[in-house]
Structure formats: structure tokens, C-alpha cells
Structure 1
């Protein structure tokens, strides 16, 4: 689940993981726990805008490391080097992922809107614009609400399956990054106590189809 939490699965792997997630609520909870654990590792880091192209370079590095691991090892290479170099590369990639991918950017809406290939649309509710939805080329979606939740309250994200709301977690401030949801999935946002609720306790302020 760590690779899924980092968002570094291939399209084929992501499809298999998505099918498993839709069939197994416990697996969805495990993925969410992994995402929260990885995020917790960098909560103490100060906010900073990643260098331009850092995420693309990181993804290319991870892909290269995975290809290298799948390739036959040269027979003449010393065994201790062929064993440790891939691990060192993956360790460096993991550190970069925690630093540049998981750390919340200083201005997340601007950050995601500037990703090459991203598209942004206004989100409305009851005739008023309440936020912005940024669709990223890798399938992720970032939702940013115009106003923070009232004091002592928090936004909670839900996926609506049939008539059943399934919690996707709490907002970080005014934004929520969605991953692993198929096109056409319906999401909703409700206002809840800071710790969240197992089911919505208020009428959703927003219902949106992805």
C-alpha cells in the first residue's frame, strides 16, 4: 500500500489496486492509514515550494530504479554493490518523495493548477462558486474551497456509492487531494466536528461528480 499512497504505481498496477479497493473496505482503510502515516513523517518540515520540475524528476527517478531492479544483474559486478546501490537509490527517492511530494505546498491551489496538463474548473453550489477543482494528468483531483470551515468545525470528504457515503478523510485546511477514484465518481463535502464523523451529521455543502 505504500507505493499506492505515494502515487507511484504504473497504470496497470493502479487499475488492479483500484479494483481491490472498491471490493474491500478494510483495504481502503489501510491505504488511508498509509497515506496519513507518510504525511505525518513530514508534518514537522517547514512549508516550501518545490523546485520547478522536482516532482517530474522524482517520478522519472523512481521509474528508472524500478526498471533497474527488474533487469538481470551483471555477472561481473561485485555482489555487495549490486545489492546496496538499488536500495540506496530507492532510499534517496523516498526522501525526495517525502520532501517534495507529500509536504503540502505553500499555495496548494496555485501549485496544482500549474502542473503541466492540469485543468481547472469552478465548483458551484446553489448557484454560487464555492471552490476550484483541479484535474491532474495522472488522474488525481485537487479540490480547494474558497472559505475555511467555521471555528471549531472542519470539512470532511465523502465518496457517494449508491446512497451510501464513505468517508475519505478530513481536509488539510481548505483543500483535499483525491486519488484512486474512477472518472464519474461522486464526492461530497460536509461540515463536521474537528475529529470527523463516521457518517455526515450535516447536509453536504457540496456534491460534485468527478
Structure 2
């Protein structure tokens, strides 16, 4: 595991959101790259403050730009996108005390929370869905909607897809209907559609 791959996993490591095997790999890598320990400790302190409900500290100058550059970067490491999502949520909770950031960060630590990959019909990874036990989902895409189109979420169950919210930004929180087991995303005209027209991301 390279230092950059370790950095991608550090937010998830701090949140306790890795499997025992993945956690062990990160700790072995941290022993090989001791220069990464200060970043790991800082993230673990933020996660601990969130869990205890302590007030957030101010964002150090330049941190927001650094994290956003990391989120926008494209890498093929399997956990990279989710790691960057966790880093973004840590930034929200650390810098602004945002309810959204803190709530979803802590949800990643819950055993009942599920994380789905969203994959295009061509097999390209386009984002993730974090699904909490209360049927609240956070859709995180790796791009914004193209001009003249909006994203639309769909609840997937045993019947026809259920149309849910439309959105333009690559992050959307929504509640699934009781019959929905997963979420898909399509590209639609403004205002949405009763049935998906251009499937953008299917759960996998």
C-alpha cells in the first residue's frame, strides 16, 4: 500500500468504518510510513470529538482547498472515492459544525449502515450511496449534472422503480420509501420523469 493509498483510507480508519482486515493493513502501512501518523491522529481526534458531541474547532487555513482537491482527483484505488467522501464530511463537521457532515460521518461507524457503489451501464464507477438503518440515504456522485439535465434518484424494490427527488449537485440526502431496498440514479430533463430515461448509476 502506497502512502497516497493510506491517506485515502485514513478518514475511514479514524471513523472505525474499515473491516478488521483493512484496518490491519492501514496500521501496518502506518508503521512503514510514520510521517503519516500526525494526519491519522488529527483525523482520529476529530472523529472522537464528533462522537462526544464536542464543539468543532476552526478550519486551519488552506485545509478546505486541500481536501477539495483530493475529492476532485480521480484515482482507481477501490476505497479512494469513499475515503474522499469521508474527508469531505469530516471537513464539514470540523469546519462548520454541519449537522449533515457529523450525522453521516457517525453513520459510517454503525454496523447497520450499508454502502453501495453506483455503476454506469458501461461499468464505470460514478459514486456511492450510504444507506442508514432508518432508510435515509446519502447519494454521492463524482460529477455534477450536465447542462440541461438533472439527476433523479429512484427507489428500487421488487416492482417498478419509484421516482424520488431530482437534484443538480453531486450530493443529495433523501428518504427511501418502505418498499425500496436500494437507490439508482438517472439523468432526466429538468423537473424529472415518471420513469427513468437515461440510467446513470445502478447499485452494485
TM-score bracket relative to the smaller structure: 0.3 to 0.5
Work out which of the two has the higher radius of gyration on C-alpha atoms and give 1 or 2: 1
**Structure 2 length-normalised TM:** 0.41
State the TM-score, normalizing by the size of structure 1. Answer: 0.40
